[in-house]
């Protein structure tokens, strides 16, 4: 079970800020594949991965990062702080 | 050593700068940067900032720790707001204190470059007409990070 | 456009920064630098700054005008004290405001580099034992100017 | 007649902050030569020109700068502001 979080327009597109996901995905990319296959709103949010960033357990990660042991995965657009 | 505050409340940059400066010892140079909501010639009504609680503190803590490793600093302050704010209000500030000015300037610019692109904040602008749009990340902000590579 | 003040009186950097920021329009970024008398581990009792009245205002005015030509600024402030001052007191400050942060940072660093070596101030340190010595100019301060050459 | 000003250790070494000087010197260097020839304290102050800076009418100048029309010449060590 992984807690999946969405921020900014990813959150808006998917319609929820977070959800628990039952998954056997071994990498972030596999998790993205499972989510995108769910519904059109997920497919739309994950249509262009180059426009997305991912954090695993609150650390920026790549899409090929392993999920073994991860409790929290977040998807969001490039950050615009400062 | 760094003081990091993530908050919705407005803050007074001048009072923060005074307090920060009085608390550090041995500093000969203090640099501050304050980011302010521009009004874009009256077209911007408000700005809203979303963040990722938990990761925000962690990411900024890491950035500040790296600044303290790279430069000889006497102190380091980061305040960043989230939630709604109005044109003219301060969004965030960083302050750095050091024995010498080159360190204070470099650390402040480093903190800003990393906060822009590596701390999980997302800005949304609401126009005077009530339209809301997420601010797109700028390529130049990503490029700015390259100058800090070893 | 730049505000330039040469004075013996202490000033409050925080209050000056607030006032400066409120007065500028269109700024998204405000950078300040404050130079503070170090106590050098308790060995320094006081600092005295001599200046060249008339030339000081002229030299700083020229430096500020050049900063305003080189970068897109919303405002520019220089305060520099002369006379006696104690450890922990602010010697001087610059503040720059700009629509974008790169301009504000570059202009503040430019102002500082030129103020260090091209504005007619001379620092004298008085040690706790009462010995007075003129501060020698640093080669690195002269070198710092070269980065601004076209 | 030129007003000559001294600052910092130059002022201390010469012993006065300013004086009026009658001179026909055509350049700063010629003026320095005349001053240095006056007394030991002037000779000491002008012994090493590389340690000195000069301003003519409140503008930084070189030692070979002309003095025609100048009203004020100042000698001082490298500046240490900021």
Domains parsed from chain B with CATH numbers: 3-146 (3.90.1170.40)
Average of per-residue pLDDT across C80-98: 97
Which pLDDT score is estimated for A35?
A: 98
State yes or no: pLDDT of D31 exceeds 80: yes
Note whether B116 contacts A82, CB cutoff 8 Å.
yes
Q: CB of B20 within 8 A of CB of B97?
A: yes
> How many other C-beta atoms can be found within 10 angstroms of the C-beta atom of residue A29?
15
Which chain C residues are closer than 8 Å to B112 by Cβ? 101, 105
Instruction: Report if residue A45 sits inside a domain.
Output: yes
- For C124, the 3-state DSSP assignment is strand
> For the segment D38-53, what is each residue's pLDDT rounded down to a tens digit?
999 999 999 999 999 9
Q: Largest alpha-carbon pair distance within chain C?
A: 50
pLDDT score at B41: 85
pLDDT (tens digit, 9 = 90+) per residue, C115-140?
999 999 999 999 999 999 999 999 99
pLDDT (0 to 100) of residue C39:
86
| Location of structure tokens 């660093």 | C109
The answer to whether the beta carbons of residues C36 and C90 sit under 8 Å apart is yes
| For testing contact with chain B, the best of C16, C27, C29, C34 (most B CBs within 10 A) | C34
Average pLDDT, chain D: 97
Interface membership of B87 toward C (CB under 8 Å):
no
User: Is B1 a residue whose pLDDT tops 80?
Assistant: no
Q: How many domains does chain A have?
A: 1
Sequence-distant (≥ 6) Cβ neighbours of residue A71 within 8 angstroms: A2, A3, A57
Interface of C with B in 4-63 (CB under 8 A): 12-18, 21, 26-39, 41
* CA closest to C36 among chain D residues: D82
Q: What is the pLDDT of residue B26?
A: 84
Domain span holding position A43: 2-76
The pLDDT score that the predictor gives to residue A4 is 98
The answer to whether C117 contacts D55, with C-beta atoms less than 8 Å apart, is no
Within a domain: residue D24?
yes
Return phi, psi of residue D65, to 5°. -65, 140
Tell me whether residues D79 and C121 touch, CB distance under 8 A. Answer: yes
Whether residue A82 lies inside any domain: the answer is: no
Please state the φ and ψ torsions of residue C50, each to the nearest 5 degrees: -100, 150
Q: How far apart are CA D58 and CA C52, in angstroms?
A: 9
How far apart are alpha carbons B137 and B134 in whole angstroms? 9
Q: Are D61 and D28 in contact (CB under 8 A)?
A: yes
pLDDT at B40: 84
Q: Which residue of B has its CA nearest to A18?
A: B52
Tell me if A10 is assigned to some domain: yes
Look at A55 and B55 and tell me if their CB atoms are within 8 Å: yes
Position with higher pLDDT, C39 vs B67 = B67
- Which pLDDT band holds residue B42 (cuts at 50, 70, 90)? confident
Cβ atoms C27, C82 nearer than 8 A: no
pTM exceeds 0.90 for this model = yes
Q: How large is the average pLDDT for residues B126-136?
A: 94
Whether residue C1 is predicted with pLDDT greater than 80 in this model: the reply is no
- C58 in Cβ contact with D58 (< 8 Å): yes
Measured between CA atoms, the residue of chain A closest to residue B82 is A81
Of A2, A1, A10, A16, whose CA–CA distance to A48 is shortest? Answer: A10
Euclidean distance between CA atoms D44 and D67, whole angstroms: 23
Q: What is the pLDDT of residues C96-118, one digit of tens each?
A: 999 999 999 999 999 999 999 99
CA atoms of A35 and A16, how far apart (whole Å): 13
Each residue of C26-84: pLDDT tens digit? 899 999 999 999 988 889 999 999 999 999 999 999 999 999 999 999 999 999 999 99
What are the residues of chain C with a beta carbon less than 8 Å away from any beta carbon of chain D?
A: 35, 49-52, 54-55, 58-59, 80, 91-92, 112, 115-124, 134-137, 142
Section B77-83 average pLDDT? 98
Alpha carbons B60 and B69: distance in angstroms, whole number = 14
Q: State whether ipTM is beyond 0.85.
A: yes
Flag whether A39 is in a domain. yes
* Residue of higher predicted confidence among D18 and B26: D18
Q: Rounded to whole angstroms, how far apart are CA atoms A52 and B137?
A: 11
A contacts of B92 (beta carbons < 8 Å): 81-82
Instruction: Evaluate whether A56 touches A70 at the Cβ level (below 8 Å).
Output: yes
Residue A22: partners with Cβ closer than 8 Å, 6 or more residues away: A1
pLDDT in tens, chain A (82 residues): 999 999 999 999 999 999 999 999 999 999 999 999 999 999 999 999 999 999 999 999 999 999 999 999 999 999 999 9
Residues C61, C120 contacting (CB under 8 angstroms): no
Burial status of residue A60 (CB atoms within 10 A of its CB: 0-12, 13-18, 19 or more): middle
The verdict on a CB contact (< 8 Å) between C134 and D7 is: no
D78 closest CB neighbour out of C49, C80, C137: C137
CATH code at D23?
A: 3.10.20.30
What is the distance between the terminal CA atoms of chain D, rounded to a whole angstrom? 34
In a domain, D81, yes or no: no
Does the pLDDT of residue B150 top 90, yes or no? no
If you average pLDDT over every residue of chain C, what do you get?
A: 96
Residue of B28, B39, A81, B90 lying closest to C17 (CA atoms): B90
| Cβ atoms of residues A60 and A53 within 8 Å | yes
For residue B56, what are the CA distances in angstroms to B22, B47, B51, B60, B118? 27, 19, 7, 6, 9
Non-local CB neighbours of B83 within 8 Å, separated by 6+ positions: B8, B48, B49
């Amino acid at each position: 079970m992984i807690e999946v979080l969405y921020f900014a327009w990813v959150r808006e597109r998917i319609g929820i800020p977070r959800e628990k996901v039952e998954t056997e995905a071994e990498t972030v990319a596999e998790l993205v594949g499972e989510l995108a296959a769910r519904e059109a709103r997920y497919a739309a949010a994950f249509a262009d991965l180059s426009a997305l960033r991912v954090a695993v357990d609150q650390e920026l990660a790549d899409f090929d990062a392993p999920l073994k042991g991860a409790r929290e995965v977040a998807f969001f657009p490039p950050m615009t702080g400062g | 050593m760094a003081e990091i505050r993530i908050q919705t409340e407005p803050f007074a940059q001048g009072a923060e700068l005074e307090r920060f400066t009085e608390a550090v010892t041995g500093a000969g140079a203090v640099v501050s940067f304050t980011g302010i909501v521009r009004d874009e010639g009256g077209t911007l009504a408000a700005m809203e900032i979303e963040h990722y609680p938990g990761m925000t503190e962690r990411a900024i803590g890491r950035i500040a720790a790296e600044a303290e490793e790279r430069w000889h600093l006497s102190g380091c302050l980061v305040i960043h707001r989230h939630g709604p704010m109005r044109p003219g209000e301060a969004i965030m500030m960083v302050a750095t204190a050091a024995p010498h000015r080159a360190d204070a300037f470099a650390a402040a610019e480093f903190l800003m470059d990393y906060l822009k692109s590596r701390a999980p904040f997302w800005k949304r602008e609401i126009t005077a007409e009530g339209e809301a749009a997420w601010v797109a990340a700028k390529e130049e902000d990503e490029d700015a990070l390259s100058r800090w590579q070893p």
